[in-house]
Structure 1
Amino acid sequence: MTELIEKVFELAPHEGDFNTSVPHLSLFRRNSPTATPMPVIYQPSIYMVLLGSKAAYLGKERYQYDPMHYLVSCVPLPLEGQILQASEQRPYMAARISLETHMINELLMQMPDEQEASVTSIDAPSKDGTSSRGIYVSKMNSDIQHTLSRLLDCAHSTTKAHVLGQLALKELIYHIINAEHGSLLRAFACQDRQQYHIANVLQFINRHYASSMDIATLASKANMSESSFYHHFKAATNTSPIQYIKTVRLHAAKRKMVFEHHNATSAAYEVGYTSASQFSREYRRLFSVPPAQDARTASKV
Structure 2
Amino acid sequence: MNGELKTQLGALRDAQDSRASIGFVETAAPSVRLFWSDAPVARAPLSYAPGIAVIVSGCKVGYFDERRIEYGPGQYLAVGLPLYFECETIATKEDPLIGIFMSGEPEMLLGLAGDLAAHDLPALPAKPGLGIEPLTMPGAMLDAVTRLVRQLLTPAETAVLSPGTLREIFFHALLDRHGRALLSQLSGDRPEARIARVLRDLEAAPESFPGVNDLAKAAGMSAASFHRHFKAVTGLPPLQYLKRKRLMQAKSLLVHNNLGVAETAHAVGYASAAQFSRDFSSFFGLPPSMAADTAYPA
| Matching residue within 195, 200, 213 for 1:198 | 195
- Encode CA deviations 1:114-147: one digit per residue, 9 max, x unaligned: 699735x62xxxxxxxx44222432311221121
3-state SS, counterpart of residue 134 of structure 2: strand
Q: Identify the residue that residue 150 of structure 1 maps to in structure 2.
A: 147
Residues 116 and 265 of structure 1: CA distance in aligned 2, closer, same or farther (over 3 Å): farther
State the identity as a percent.
Answer: 30
Deviation at 1:294?
Answer: 4.6
In structure 2, the partner of 1:25 is 32
Change (3 A) 1:80 1:259: closer
Give the total of aligned pairs. Answer: 287
Contact 2:45 2:249 in 1 (8 A): no
Matches within 5 A, 1:131-146: 131-135=127-131, 136-146=133-143
TM-score of the aligned structures, taking structure 2 as reference length: 0.82
After TM superposition, give the deviation of residue 110 of structure 1 in Å: 4.2
Which of 93, 97, 117 is the equivalent residue of 2:102?
97
Contact 1:50 1:66 (C-alpha < 8 Å) held by counterparts: yes
For residue 96 of structure 1, what is the amino acid of its counterpart? F
- How far did residue 185 of structure 1 move? 2.3
State how far apart, in whole Å, the 1-side matches of 2:257 and 2:156 are: 35
Report SS of the residue matched to 1:22.
coil
The SS at the match of 2:23 is strand
SS at match of 2:123: helix
Per-residue deviation, residues 9-36 of structure 1 (Å, max 9, x unmatched): 112246322322222222222334456x
Q: How has the CA–CA distance of structure 1 residues 254 and 73 changed in structure 2, closer, same or farther, with 3 Å as cutoff?
A: same
Check the 8 A contact 2:50/2:182 in 1, yes or no: no
The question of whether the paired residues in 1 share the 8 Å contact of 2:174 and 2:180 is answered with yes
Q: CA deviation at 1:50?
A: 1.0
CA gap of 1:101–1:63, structure 2 versus 1, over 3 A, is: farther
TM-score normalised by the chain length of structure 1: 0.81
State the distance in 1 between where 2:293 and 2:177 align.
Answer: 46
User: Take 1:158 and 1:267, find their aligned partners in 2: how far apart are those partners?
Assistant: 43
Q: 2:99 aligns to what SS in structure 1?
A: strand
Match of 2:84 in 1: 78
2:47 maps to 41
SS at match of 1:56: strand
- SS for the counterpart of 2:93 is coil
CA distance in 2, matches of 1:204, 1:241: 14
- 1:1-301 equivalent positions in 2, closer than 5 A: 1-13=2-14, 15-19=21-25, 20-33=27-40, 37-84=43-90, 86-113=91-118, 118-119=123-124, 122=126, 131-135=127-131, 136-189=133-186, 191-294=188-291
Find the aligned partners of 1:286 and 1:39 in 2 and give their Cα distance.
12
1:32 & 1:295 partners in 2: Cα distance? 18
What's the RMSD between the two structures over aligned residues? 3.0
Cα shift readout 1:142-172 (whole Å, capped 9, x = no counterpart)? 2211211122123223444344322222221
